[in-house]
Amino acid sequence: MGGKSTTKACFFCFFLFHCTISTDIFPKQALPTKSGYLTVNPASNSAIFYTFYEAQTPTSPPSQTPLLIWLQGGPGCSSMTGNFFELGPWRVVSSFRQNVEHLSLEPNPGFISLDPLFKHRPVYITGESYAGKYVPAIGYYILKQNNELVDSERVNLRGVAIGDGFSDPETQLATHGVTAYYSGLINDKQRDELEQAQWEAIKLVKMEKWSEASNARTKVMDLWQNMTGLATLYDFTKQKPYQTSLVTKFLNINEVKKALGVSESMVFESCSGVVRAAMHEDMMKSVKYMVEALLGNTRVLLYQGLYDVKIGVVPNEAWVKTMKWNGIREFLMADRMICRVNGEVAGYVQKWENLTNVVVLGGGHILPADQPLNSQAMIEGWVLESGLFGGEVKDA
């Protein structure tokens, strides 16, 4: 591959002065199949930037190849962080030469991303963290719209997947004290204090004081953070937080903007404070009913990285238990199966009909960054319904 990219670089340099730099920092083979802006509201000139990668080794004709749409959390964080740090085909890496930091792209050993060109391709909505709100909302909207449309116009929604998701704040909030305590991170006295703070937040949710509840939750997290001094609650084994700032630096390099078709005057922010503020009232509202509706109509994958103590396994178990869905009793009684990838324990899979829950070992909140190969095995197994992910549910 190295040889090939050199050839390309040379070829281009005959035509473009800046080419050495641009091919260096953004090799041609790392370019998305397509990237650009999708208009949100022409009146306000608002748009969403996207990158799209066609399947690299499809096992079905393009019109049947699944399309995955990935959404970051926040609220207000950019999916470009996921693209270049977690699950895109190329990831940003940093190296030091003569004390100068050099950023570059390298192929991601895991995930393959897929495509939106074909209208009837099987579509999966996926995302992590606060996308635990967006993913069900988009899926639910598609279900409703599909009901109003003729067959040929419907979106071929085949499932939704949520990683370390924030979907039912009230139930999830109630677990922080026990999670921290039984992980050995805090003592009894601290647990009392943390639980008192979490009950304050829950009380505000029950009163539907959304904005105050959101602030109260932030206080719970700050308190927990202060008590433990961990680098990040998103992975209690890490000595430093996730280095997503690499992506921010990378996407603000002019050559990179040019390669992706972004105006050089744009400043990339990994998370937007403006969006976050606009979503403040929304933060603590539950989307559980949307997930319940989706379970009756399509497949749902929930997955968590074991090391995420913030929005990981324990809060997920807590809210799933409270779901109202025909199959929930059977799901809760189903065995948790050991999942091995290349002979090693990769995690655990629990499944009944349309609901699958996966716990992945060796990773935290930003799971595909920590466990690219096992995350890939999981998402492909689930999409293709193979191995432990196969079973009763047949295509409609």
Ligand X SMILES: *[C@@H]1O[C@H](CO)[C@@H](O)[C@H](O)[C@H]1NC(C)=O
**Which residues make up the interface to ligand X (CB under 6 A)?**
219, 222-223, 226, 295-298, 326-327, 353-354, 393, 396
CA angle 325, 326, 331 (to 5 degrees): 85
The whole-angstrom separation of Cα 208 and Cα 396 is: 39
Q: Catalytic pick from 129, 214, 286, 375? A: 129
Q: Give me the catalytic one of 164, 176, 365, 375.
A: 365
Closest separation in Å from C-beta 20 to ligand X:
46
Residue located via tokens 């095995």:
377
Return the H-helix or E-strand segment holding 20: helix 19-25
For the chain, count helices (H), then strands (E). 16, 11
255 vs 292, beta carbon nearer ligand X: 292
Pairing of strands 344-352, 355-360: antiparallel
Q: ∠ CA(116), CA(121), CA(124), 5° rounding?
A: 75
Is the Cβ–Cβ distance between 353 and 330 less than 8 Å? yes
In three-state form (DSSP H/G/I as H, E/B as E, the rest C), the secondary structure along 187-216 is CHHHHHHHHHHHHHHHHHHHCCCHHHHHHH
Q: Considering beta carbons, is residue 217 or 257 the nearer one to ligand X?
A: 217
Cβ distance to ligand X smaller for residue 296 or 390 = 296
- Of 167, 308, 370, 375, which residue is the catalytic one? 308
Q: How far is the CB of 47 from ligand X (least distance, A)?
A: 33
What token pair was written down for 213?
């509840």
Closest to ligand X by CB, 308 vs 353, is: 353
Q: What is the DSSP string of 96-139?
A: EETTEEEEEEEE-SS------SSTTS-EEEEEETTHHHHHHHHH
In single-letter form, the type of residue at position 165 comes to G
Q: Which is nearer to ligand X, 143 or 366 (CB)?
A: 143
Please state the closest distance from residue 86 (CB atom) to ligand X, in A: 28
Q: What are the tokens at 382?
A: 């689930």
CB 106, min distance to ligand X, A: 37
Q: Which is nearer to ligand X, 344 or 392 (CB)?
A: 392
User: For ligand X, which is the closer residue by CB, 97 or 394?
Assistant: 394
152 catalytic residue (yes or no): no
Smallest distance, ligand X to C-beta of residue 297, A? 5
Q: Report in angstroms how near the CB of residue 299 gets to ligand X at its nearest.
A: 7
d(CA 228, CA 236): 10
Contact 80, 247 (CB under 8 A): yes
- Indicate if 102 belongs to the active site: no
| Packed helices 188-206 and 210-228: angle between N→C axes, nearest 10 degrees | 170
Please state the separation of Cα 80 from the chain's center in Å.
11
Q: Annotated catalytic, 308?
A: yes
Q: How far is the CB of 224 from ligand X (least distance, A)?
A: 9
d(CA 376, CA 342): 13
Catalytic center residues: 129, 308, 365
